[in-house]
Amino acid sequence: MELAFLIIKLIFAFLVVFSLMYLVFKLSGDKFNKLNEGKYIKILERTQISKDSSIAVVKVGKKGYVLSTTSNKVEKLDDLTEEEINLLEEGKKEEKERLNQQYDLILDKFKCNINRFKKKITKRKIV
C-alpha cells in the first residue's frame, strides 16, 4: 500500500514538473520571440563546425549573409537573397509549430496515462 502511495506521489510530482515546464516554455517563448522581432540584426541559424569555428546565417535588415566565425575572425562566405531568407524564416516557424504540437501530444498522452492509472488505483481501493 505504501509503495502504491509513493508511486502516485511520484507521478503527481512528474505531472506538476511537466506542467510547469509547459507553462514556462509557452510564456517565455512568446516573449523571447517578441524581443527578437524588432531587431535589425538576427542570427537565424548557427552550426558548430569544430571546437572554435562555426557557420552562421545572419540577417541584417533585409540582407542575408552566410558567415564563417572563429575565435579570431569572421569571414563572409556568401550573400543570401531576400527570398532565401524568407524561406529559412518560414521553415524555422514551421519547425517551431511542429515541435509545439509534438510537445502538446506528449503532454496529452501523459495526462491520459495518469488518468488511467488513477482509475486503476481507485478501482483497487473500491474492491
pTM above 0.75, yes or no: no
pLDDT of 33 reads: 59
For the segment 71-99, the average pLDDT, to the nearest whole number, is 90
R_g over Cα of the chain: 23
Q: What is the mean pLDDT of residues 29-33?
A: 60
pLDDT above 70: percentage of residues in the chain? 87
The answer, yes or no, to whether residue 31 has pLDDT greater than 70, is no
Distance CA 85, CA 92 (A): 11
Average pLDDT over residues 44-66: 91
Task: Give tens-digit pLDDT for 80-90.
Answer: 998 999 999 89
State residue 120's pLDDT score: 80
DSSP letter string, 72-119: S-EEEEEEE-HHHHHHHHHHHHHHHHHHHHHHHHHHHHHHHHHHHHHH
pLDDT at residue 66, rounded to an integer: 96
Rounded to an integer, what distance in angstroms lies between the CA atom of residue 19 and that of residue 24?
Answer: 9
Looking at residue 38, its pLDDT comes to: 65
Predicted confidence band of residue 73 (pLDDT cuts 50, 70, 90): very high
Q: Rounded to 5 degrees, what are φ and ψ at 37?
A: -65, -40
* pLDDT score at 62: 85
Q: Write down the pLDDT at residue 30.
A: 59
Please tell me the least confidently modeled range out of 20-24, 56-60, 123-127.
123-127
